[in-house]
Structure 1
Amino acid sequence: MGNNVIYEKNNTIYKIYSALVSTIRKKNTTLANRKTPYKVWLSEIMLQQTQVKTVVPYFQRFISRFPTVRELAEASLDEVLYLWTGLGYYVRAHNLHKTAKFIYEQHEGKFPEDFDTLFSLPGIGLSTAGAILSLAFDKHYPILDGNVKRVLARYYAIAGWPGKKEIQQRLWWHSKQVTPKKKLRNSIRL
């Protein structure tokens, strides 16, 4: 199954993708409109192991207090942790602060646009790097978060724990196959 298959409107994958985008648009405009690399990164880090409805108020508070990576980088770790209180998995907040400092100091506050540099930053894994590159920079990179794993596992009848290495590899392969080579934002309007 090649990448062109997703553009065929009668195709099941296209229908699933369209339905998912429509649901996201209806349920959450706050995170669906996060087009800057900073907002994509911040929300992706917050969404790790955490439900969207829990993340939204934290995301809004962070954006209000730290509207750019510069403000986040210049903040004290104590302030970042204070705003993070209640979200859990505090290593994410530590990594967020470290990465903000690195981006501000080493990249003049601009997010790197290459996968390897993003992936090397604290707290940024394969899926987060893919999300930043695809959602903020319109580059062709797959995303494999919990929701994508569930959809792909069900669609392709992949049984087993999604954290298992072999299952992860199969899911990443399928994610790469169905990731559009051109942005679908224009046709589906994220």
Structure 2
Amino acid sequence: MAGPCYLITHPEVAVDPGTEVTAWSLSSAGRARAERLAALPWVAGLDRLVSSAERKACETAEVLAAVHGLAWTVDAELGENDRSATGFLPPEEFERVADAFFARPEQSVRGWETARHAQRRVVGAVRRHTATRDEAVGFVAHGAVGTLLWCDLERVPVDRRHDQPGQGSWYPFDPVRWTAGHGWVRIS
């Protein structure tokens, strides 16, 4: 039987409109919060980490791995929904488009990957990493990734009201029963 697993979202990033979103780094505040995350007792119980290929997720995984000597791998299927059609959007515009992304999961909004496609991709990756091993795995990814996975775990429709309370949040889940242990918890 697989151990308890966790979905972890990267903390705050250094926003740089001139850089690809996938290449953004953690901000100093984000790095400090990743270090606080590493101090939580359940992190010490993880057997390994699997991270999105995006820099901010990899940097978060690196912090956790360094503190606990964890092995970690990258899986591009855990990447945030593909928003390359628009690239960087100013915050207010981004929030409007993200609202539409969640509200119409079967439709592409402004060329973004659909929520349904992203959900299938993410769920497939998580199931692949938990199917054959009895391990507690920490998945380091992104807000939409975590929300789409949580909706699948809880068997509820995709809806932004299930979104993380802010960057740098987590929740546990049972990969065998395929259910979330509880809702999002923000890294203090």
**Do they fold alike, i.e. is TM over 0.5?**
no
TM-score for the superposition, normalised by structure 1: 0.27
Determine which structure has greater relative contact order: mean sequence separation of CA pairs < 8 Å that are 6+ residues apart, divided by chain length. 2
Considering fraction of residues, name the structure with more strand.
Answer: 2
Considering fraction of residues, name the structure with more helix.
Answer: 1
TM-score for the superposition, normalised by structure 2: 0.27
Which of these two proteins has the greater Rg computed from alpha carbons? 1
